[in-house]
Chains A and B, each alone.
Chain A
Amino acid sequence: MKKQLIELRVNGESFELAVEPQKTLLEVVREDLGLTGAKEACGTGECGACTVLIDGKPILSCLTLAIEAQGKKITTIEGLAKNSDLHPLQKAFIRYGAIQCGYCTSGMILNAKSILDENPKPSRDEILKGLEGNLCRCTGYNKILEAVMAASTGED
């Protein structure tokens, strides 16, 4: 299919790209922009590994066309740390052992960020409900819950 010229705003930077209209946002951020933090684990919207934020809301980038994301503020995991200063959630994930293989981590952290942005003091159940679309096979979610709870109390 013929390529279209699009402009994407990713992590505060603008990119002009020629992409085939059927390309997903996941493919474009990974292949065209080299931002490989977003992962594909299923490609069908079941696992959450491809989660990125669009205007602060978590979306499944494997089910979103890149052309749909024009004019919106896209945040990938690479855009979360300010220079070398990690986001409190990133620090908490490391400190509490919420990362094992790390394949789900990008999506998990971005989704957790959107939960905390919306509700800075979520309950245990609200966090778990919010994260239920992000599959993790390593951790059993216990340490992930602890990390998000810690970040929500302002621990840094």
Chain B
Amino acid sequence: MEELSYVGKSVPRKDGVEKATGRALYTVDMVLPGMLWGKILRSPYPHAKILRIDTSRAEKLPGVKAVITGKDTLGIKHGFVETPRYPPDQYPLAMDRVRHIGEEIAAVAAIDEYVAEEALNLIQVDYEELPAVFDPEEAMKPEAPEIHPSHPKVKEPYKNIGGKTESGWGNVEKGFAESYLVREDRFEGQLRTHCYMEPQATLASFDLSGKLNVWTSSQGPFIKRAKLATTLGLPFSNVRVLKAYVGGAYGGKIDLFSHEFCASLLSIEARRPVKIVCTREEVFESARHGQPILVELKTGVKKDGTLVAQQVRVINNSGAYRGSGVVVIFLCWGFVMLCYRIPNLKYEGYSVYTNNPVRAPQRGHGAPNLRFAVESQMDTIAEELGIDPVEIRLKNARQKGDILPNEDSVRNCGLVECIERAAEATRFKEIYGKRKSQEGQRIRRGIGMGVSSYFSGSLIYPNTSAAIVKLNDDGTVSLLTGALDIGQGAETILCQIVAEELGVSMDDIRVVAADTETTPVDIGAWISGGAYVSGNAVKMAASDARRQLFEVAAQKLEANPEDLIAKNREISVKGIPGRSISFTQAVAESITKRRGNPIIGQGHFRTMKDIPAHPSLATTKGRWSDNYAFDAQVAEVEVDMETGQVKLVKATTAHDCGFPINPLLVEGQIDGQVSMAQGHALWEEVLMKKGKTLTTSFLDYKIPCAKDLVESHYIDVITERYEKDAPYRTKEVGEGYVSGMVAAIANAVYDATGVRVKTFPILPEKILMGLKEKGDK
């Protein structure tokens, strides 16, 4: 096999110097001449009619340049999902009703933040409060206040149903009847949040030609452009979203946010650039958090632990609008069926409106909650059957070549190897189940395993990625990609691919990225398809450029293009040392000396290219993804039996990501997910009371700090490889590994204490309560 020079190597990140020296410009750093500051007025009520809005006093305040309310908009709704079944349901500025605290009512642009803030105080809004409901199961009851009418296709007499997913196969009733053991459990996820360090921020500048230029802290410019243009009533081409560095996102900056719309409309009204930077408090109170999910899980197994039937009911508290709620109830089906073979399945998921802020994907998008439920119950079943956790997982694990019920193939699934290698590396079987021998000790150790799987790109707008690779006559290469580096290292891996294909060095490549005007379309950094979809588009563009260059070089070298290779900035004839020309010379030969072909390589790549659309969110029918990543993760914890404090001591991740394009970046992704899993499983929770957020700072909402560092080990299970001249298959690595780890932590806590906590986070008091109930100490 051909030896690779860049792909598969731990190349330092391309933007390292800019970031290490403080030169990288984030949206919050952007300033334009004449720039105004925008601020947003938000609803203090969880549910109310807006009777009247009087902005006249605000408009008269010196320094105020524009004030907008819902009636200054076109009244066009938007949504995370916009399909015939799930039409958009959210106005960018409230019209006549607010449905959650923090909902955007008006916005102001002024010469500075103080004036803008003062102007908000001068806006008079008269409300009529309406009854509100916050708990999803309460909201489903017939007597609950109606936030939106239930979805017309939902037949049950439930209120406030934003969406439903139903799926299954076989006959679960028959399956349960034939099972040796049937267990029913209920698991509750908490409301957690992203805590991206850069707050939500947007700078919009409407120029006199009628073009709106937007810098925004996001996860990809193309979806932002589409939703901004639609809600503002502008042609797509009149909205240009440009690159800025992004200070973290983790799922929280994907679709349209009202501050982006407001900055844009204010700029259009004031004819000046307008910047809105949300405060941390605003982010906690009003921005979209993750999805809190309830899972009711009934599972039947044979005596040897083989799964026979599973019935899953998921209820998602989607907040006041659909947000990604109707996606997460589809995804939860996927996260049930991917890891284990289930002969009979009945799945139903409900997304329920409540008077809480809207919810967004957060790293794993449902998978952490779902795997917490399934893996916790799996361990309980194993214990009741006297089987160890590794064996029961191996017995049920997906196998290479399995065809999923939606006809996707997991042809290269490395789950079995992940489980085996994670168990072996951690000496799982030796350490597990030593609760008895630790009796009387204050600090007890436990070990637990969790497995999970995640898709790698799917078909949600813009579905595809394209790229341009331009060769310059000084021998440098320009890569034009719509991909946005949000810290995951997109630009770095894309440059590695270009360097590999063209035989140039990383330093020879300049990247122009994430600009809807100058770079081609890109799938975005939010659907776990970057390395696979954008990467293959770039690979095709680079090999197209190489093909054109080889035609020129072949003439010069009097050889066949097929016999040429590009390496170390040279093009040479295979097997004939010395017969070569430099890369620079060959490019110059083409551009300036002969024919004038400047050599512009193009490529595009779409996952599941012959499939027209994403699978049905209602029935789960249809192809979902080309590639699925798998992992088995092991957590080792120490529990203080007197205080209930849990310390995650060691995390081991055995994962099948296809192959790592950059192992250093992959390790960074794993560490970050382990850290997020630690916070998610053990302490993070957004606390709310009657729709009001109580945790509005990093003191109230603690995320892991340096002292919480977890020793992190990695095992790469390689199932794919990179070859020149063919698309490659690789899998996602950015968000699937939160879920195996949260499940592993829950199982490790049980192993240490004998307490099975079924609600996240696993707070000390829950463990102490459990110990008390057991009469243990």
Contact = CB atoms under 8 A, between A and B. Distances in A.
Contacts of A104: 197
B361 to A, nearest CB: 16
A144 to B, nearest CB: 7
Residue of B18, B25, B197, B703 ringed by the most chain A CB atoms within 10 A: B197
Interface in B667-719: 667-668, 671-676, 697-699, 703-710, 712
Contact of B197 (A41, A77, A95, A145): A41
B22 A94 contact: no
A98 to B, nearest CB: 9
Interface in A80-119: 80-81, 86, 90-91, 93-95, 97, 99-106, 109
B668 A137 contact: no
Contacts, number: 174
Contacts of A138: 248, 487, 668, 672
Residue of B664, B665, B668 ringed by the most chain A CB atoms within 10 A: B668
A36 to B, nearest CB: 4
Contact of A44 (B246, B280, B675, B708): B280
B487 A102 contact: yes
A92 to B, nearest CB: 9
A143 B280 contact: no
Interface stretch (A2-10, A53-61, A66-74, A128-136): A128-136
Contacts of B321: none
B159 interface: no
Interface string B246-260: 111110000000000
Contact of B279 (A36, A43, A101, A134): A43
A37 B18 CA distance: 10
Interface in A15-50: 30, 35-44, 46-47, 49
A95 B280 CA distance: 31
Contact of A42 (B13, B28, B697, B710): B697
A43 B282 CA distance: 12
Nearest to B486: A101
Given A137-B703, A138-B487, A105 B19 contact: yes
A123 interface: no
Interface residues of B, number: 57
Contacts of B706: 127-132, 134, 136, 141, 144-145
B158 interface: no
A93 B22 contact: no
Interface residues of A, number: 54
B22 A78 contact: yes
Given A39-B28, A103-B197, A132 B707 contact: yes
A85 to B, nearest CB: 11
A90 B20 CA distance: 5
B29 interface: yes
B22 A77 contact: yes
Contact of B709 (A40, A78, A91, A141): A141
Contacts of B707: 128-129, 132
A12 interface: no
B23 interface: yes
B488 A94 contact: no
A146 to B, nearest CB: 10
B460 interface: no
B709 A94 contact: no
Residue of A43, A127, A140, A143 ringed by the most chain B CB atoms within 10 A: A140
B245 interface: yes
Contacts of A135: 195, 197, 698, 703, 705
Nearest to A125: B707
B408 interface: no
Contacts of B671: 139-143
A101 B709 contact: no
Nearest to B712: A142
A76 interface: yes
B17 interface: yes
Residue of B16, B196, B487, B707 ringed by the most chain A CB atoms within 10 A: B16
B17 A137 contact: no
Contacts of A130: 706
Contacts of B611: none
Contacts of B269: none
A41 B280 contact: yes
B12 A44 contact: no
B247 to A, nearest CB: 3
B468 to A, nearest CB: 26
Given A46-B697, A97-B664, A142-B671, A76 B250 contact: no
Contacts of A35: 22
A99 B23 CA distance: 14
A141 B674 CA distance: 11
Contacts of A94: 12-13, 16-17, 20
B26 A39 contact: yes
A100 B197 contact: no
A78 B25 contact: no
B20 A101 contact: no
A112 to B, nearest CB: 10
B709 A137 contact: no
Contact of B668 (A30, A133, A143): A143
A44 B697 CA distance: 8
Contact of B245 (A38, A95, A102, A132): A102
Contacts of B196: 101, 103, 137
Contacts of A47: 197, 698
A28 B664 CA distance: 37
B21 interface: yes
B195 A97 contact: no
B325 interface: no
Contacts of A80: 21
Interface string B649-678: 000000000000000110110011111100
Contacts of A76: 22
B199 interface: yes
Nearest to A102: B19
B357 interface: no
Contacts of A38: 22
A132 B707 CA distance: 6
B16 A41 contact: no
B15 interface: yes
B198 interface: yes
Contacts of A81: 21
A46 B280 CA distance: 11
A42 to B, nearest CB: 4
Contacts of B486: 101
B431 interface: no
A86 B248 contact: no
B705 A39 contact: no
A129 B23 CA distance: 28
A47 B247 CA distance: 13
A95 B668 CA distance: 12
A131 B247 CA distance: 19
B489 interface: yes
B667 A143 contact: yes
Interface string B95-109: 000000000000000
Contacts of A102: 15, 18-20, 24, 245, 247, 487
Contacts of B705: 131-135, 141
A86 B17 contact: yes
A41 B23 CA distance: 17
A75 to B, nearest CB: 11
A76 B22 CA distance: 9
17 contacts: A36-B25, A36-B26, A44-B697, A47-B698, A77-B20, A94-B20, A99-B13, A99-B16, A100-B489, A101-B245, A102-B245, A105-B19, A132-B707, A137-B196, A137-B703, A140-B674, A145-B709
Interface of A: 30, 35-44, 46-47, 49, 76-78, 80-81, 86, 90-91, 93-95, 97, 99-106, 109, 127-145
Interface of B: 10, 12-13, 15-26, 28-29, 194-199, 245-250, 279-280, 486-489, 664-665, 667-668, 671-676, 697-699, 703-710, 712
